Amino acid sequence: MPEISFVVPMLNEADQIRGCLGRLQAWRALGDEVIVADGGSDDASVAIATPLCDALTVSAPGRALQMNQGAARASGNMIAFLHADTHIGAGAREEILAARDTWTFFDVRFDDERWPFQVIAWFMNTRSRISKVATGDQVICVSRALFLAAGGYPDIPIMEDVALSKKLRRDSQPRWSAAQVRTSARRWRCKGLVRTIVLMWVLRFAFFAGVSPERLVRFYR
């Protein structure tokens, strides 16, 4: 039985998935498993991913649905939900295993070292440590028993990571990790730095104020 099961959701990630899964081969060599949860990609993603993972699930698109499908195939004591554009080093393995009875997530830094992205990362990390609410970029790692007890990811089209964190923190306090993960700044570059910051804060505030995820995802798109 593997200690850690990585669940990697993807949808048309042909440009990213080879590098992501390639980096996880070191974890597979240690006995961990990698499960790719595809949301119906129509590019080369599935063909690229298949030889680099232990299992591949296919479902309708939707990150919560995909990650729940992947988690259902997981056999590890810990499940780590990893985005295709996020890099987690093998040195984080001890941090994940140390949280085997609870859950953890990581501080994030961007692959763009310019100062605005350093500031954004600092605010993201500080907010998460205070609120005990993580985003998907921070690689949520949770014991399989705790994940199942929480009912998995809520079936909502947006803010699924925030909703899961709120459920997990009710029953178990996260273990703080000293490790960092590196994630892509492509969303910020594509949509614009200021626009993305404003958008994410508006979405987060509206979600906590009770606006339905269905309305939020229409606004986001």
Q: d(Cα 99, Cα 112) in Å, to the nearest integer? A: 29
Q: d(Cα 110, Cα 48) in Å, to the nearest integer? A: 25
Q: Which among 1, 154, 132, 136 is positioned nearest to 78, based on CA atoms?
A: 1
Question: pLDDT per position in the chain (221 positions), as tens?
Answer: 899 999 999 999 999 999 999 999 999 999 999 999 999 999 999 999 999 999 999 999 999 999 999 999 999 999 999 999 999 988 899 999 999 999 999 999 999 999 989 999 999 999 999 999 999 999 999 999 999 999 999 999 989 999 999 999 998 999 988 789 999 988 878 777 778 777 778 887 888 778 887 887 777 76
Q: d(Cα 88, Cα 91) in Å, to the nearest integer? A: 8
Which residue has 């606004």 as its token pair? 219
Which residues, at least 6 apart from 135, have a Cβ–Cβ distance to it below 8 Å? 108, 124, 128, 161, 162
Centre a 10 Å sphere on the Cβ of residue 117 and count the other Cβ atoms it contains. Answer: 17
| DSSP secondary structure, 163-209, as one string | HHHHHHHHH-PPEEEEEEEEE--HHHHHH-HHHHHHHHHHHHHHHHT
Total-model pTM: 0.92
Q: Which among 100, 68, 107 is positioned nearest to 4, based on CA atoms?
A: 100
